[in-house]
Structure 1
């Protein structure tokens, strides 16, 4: 006999109410965390700004592995080196995906490697990138780094108040050479400005409350654009970003095909496209993502280093004493790395003290797992809480002090430290973990060493004074907001240590200019670069026959 309609409706309502009643609860067996509310879980507790401070407080209260229930989603927060090593490294086979970051996907056209889920496309891109950024390849880029670093020093002689712009040009030009084969010669280059402006807006979007709501309550995505202004904004960001990235790609692709391009990463990308047939937009985002990664993270770290030297002048003095003892009147080089342990410590401490990926980019687990008695459900986001680990007083006593001596006995490279089986011996967590580990870390580490050693060798970095002669002391806690952070702009006094040092900087730059043409591009490229001449796939096959 058929059930009455009202009975069916009652049963349906009961099921819906029961399902809704579970939303926002922390299921039994999950890692502990702050108390939840029905439907929203911990959403009401999520900080609107400076999230790294609240995430660290929760780690102190709930332990190194805790959970946040965010509407329909779960975020597992790892706040110890051991937990990161155990899960993201040792279980990387299931912890290397990404949660669905909806607005980030819209703003990237679904093409940004940083946000891609773990799968065939991501692995294909990673293989291409690895071939061009591995430790062997990284050694061939040293002439690029040397040139751009000397251009940075020369720019600071004449425009020290624009130190942030000169630092950004330094890291961007190094990257445009490696990726596209051309130098960025001016701090006023419009594409340079567009890159940093666009990536800053992308980072802010990713860290916004609106982006979080659309991730946590996917039903809201069904709303039309006029009711979702952030989605309209994300689409506009994608249009401008695609114009830059795909534009760079199409220009260099054309030059590669007609034989006029300088050797660069895109040579391998064109070969891969010939073989596998992926789209120009994807190729544009692969090369563009490397451009933003190589430009932004290293520049942000160097800006943090300048701030640290202003706030901790005794550190700058100690570094200069080591440089004077080892290098004397000559400019330091990468060959001096073994003899400059304090400067190596400055590099590591810069990455620890001001980590640009302050709460990491979340991973996602692709199947149910268990850790230390806790359930970690399939699909959960997994955050590596960089700030909490870097500022754990048990790991780093007096953590907000910039102290390179923390690494007095640590001669590991960043890659060696990241792969150290003993998690407590890892220097910092800026370069990620597991299969998402940054493949350009060898290049970034060398760029940081050259910049830090030569800045301290050539210049005094001091507190600036305002028009009334009063010192303007920067606030190390005044950071930009978003997925990736850095100090907000601050003034600094950057002056040559002596006339002889200033003259040496000018002499070194004059030698570099002899290698450049009238457009300040390489006249003859350095020897030893890894890239081979481009040949069409058919030509390669014919040669093999």
Structure 2
């Protein structure tokens, strides 16, 4: 019995020492900056926690807007061990992220990306050859001089939206959701959606909604600071993200595979019109890249386009 108590006490001491070391490392860790470079101003932070307790995780943008009015269009916050620069101005965002994209194209590793099944997306991917190939496909399809090619399709979808509004004006949120989804599905996959409640679009939209709600920096910061949480069973209190992650990952995989398979079948039968996926698959033989790598990149970039469009629309409707 005494040996057992000694062992238990030793394990407790080891766990306590580990916890303290992590806390000290997090507290004293400072972002490594070049000489003469300073971080933007920001709200005062707590040891270990940083600004985590001050952010409303259900509506973080409200907190950031308040801080923006106090600290300016660009300010610094820390969520546990994660350092963040928050940009509160479209002008500043364009200047840094577009005009100087060669400096800011990389992204940090986010612990929840793989958990939710969105690690394939260029929106969350590190700057590497995989990301560059996806960007190439997206830029070639949606470059400014190619936008006019989509106008006839967009006009037809606008007519469908107006007809839906006339027939059932009270269901306008669903009409708008279906309208935006049908446009991007047509542009990317040449998929002709049903005028109302298309099953494929609705299924994908469910996954997008889950991801938008769960894939927040404030949540990711917790799992990044304490990655061992990802190994805990989903039935434990506070592990809601793990409980819902299996469904999110399943829907993310469906949203990538099913529309792509639809376009592939259409190409095989000659029943598909020009779209992002079809155009790039037809160029497969012209590429020096490995065919399987190239095809996977087309599939991933197409899902990125649809997901990015829907997330933007979802954010607008949420406001």
1:253 corresponds to which of 264, 271, 292: 264
The total of aligned residue pairs comes to 292
1:240 corresponds to which of 229, 246, 251: 251
Question: Corresponding residue for 1:21?
Answer: 24
Secondary structure of 1:117's counterpart equals coil
Q: Which ranges in structure 2 are unaligned for 5 or more consecutive residues?
A: 1-15, 32-37
Question: Corresponding residue for 1:161?
Answer: 170
Instruction: Determine which structure has the larger helix proportion and give its number.
Output: 2
Cα 1:201–1:85 change in 2 (3 A) is: closer
CA contact 1:246–1:283 (8 Å) conserved in 2: no
Higher relative contact order structure (alpha carbons within 8 Å, sequence separation ≥ 6)? 1
CA contact 1:71–1:217 (8 Å) conserved in 2: no
- Cα deviation code 1:441-486 (max 9, x no counterpart): xxxxxxxxxxxxxxxxxxxxxxxxxxxxxxxxxxxxxxxxxxxx52
How is 1:261-272 mapped onto 2 (pairs within 5 angstroms)? 261-271=272-282
Question: Corresponding residue for 2:312?
Answer: 297
The answer to whether structure 1 residue 179 and structure 2 residue 10 are counterparts is no
Separation of aligned partners in 2, 1:82 and 1:265:
30
Separation of aligned partners in 2, 1:243 and 1:145:
25
CA contact 1:78–1:84 (8 Å) conserved in 2: yes
1:136 corresponds to which of 145, 159, 167: 145
Q: CA RMSD in A?
A: 3.0
2:45 corresponds to which of 33, 36, 51: 36
Cα 1:229–1:56 change in 2 (3 A) is: closer
The answer to whether structure 1 residue 100 and structure 2 residue 109 are counterparts is yes
Cα 1:273–1:220 change in 2 (3 A) is: farther
- Cα deviation code 1:409-430 (max 9, x no counterpart): xxxxxxxxxxxxxxxxxxxxxx
Question: Corresponding residue for 1:491?
Answer: none
Separation of aligned partners in 2, 1:100 and 1:145:
37
Deviation at 1:136, TM superposition (A): 1.9
The answer to whether structure 1 residue 91 and structure 2 residue 100 are counterparts is yes
Separation of aligned partners in 2, 1:244 and 1:83:
33
Cα 1:292–1:37 change in 2 (3 A) is: closer
Separation of aligned partners in 2, 1:86 and 1:47:
28
The structure with the larger Rg is 1
Could you tell me the TM-score, scaled by structure 2's length? 0.79
CA contact 1:67–1:77 (8 Å) conserved in 2: yes
Could you tell me the TM-score, scaled by structure 1's length? 0.48
CA contact 2:212–2:311 (8 Å) conserved in 1: no
Secondary structure of 1:114's counterpart equals coil
Question: Corresponding residue for 2:317?
Answer: 486
- Cα deviation code 1:384-405 (max 9, x no counterpart): xxxxxxxxxxxxxxxxxxxxxx
Q: Which ranges in structure 1 are unaligned for 5 or more consecutive residues?
A: 1-12, 301-355, 357-484, 489-545
Deviation at 1:148, TM superposition (A): 1.0
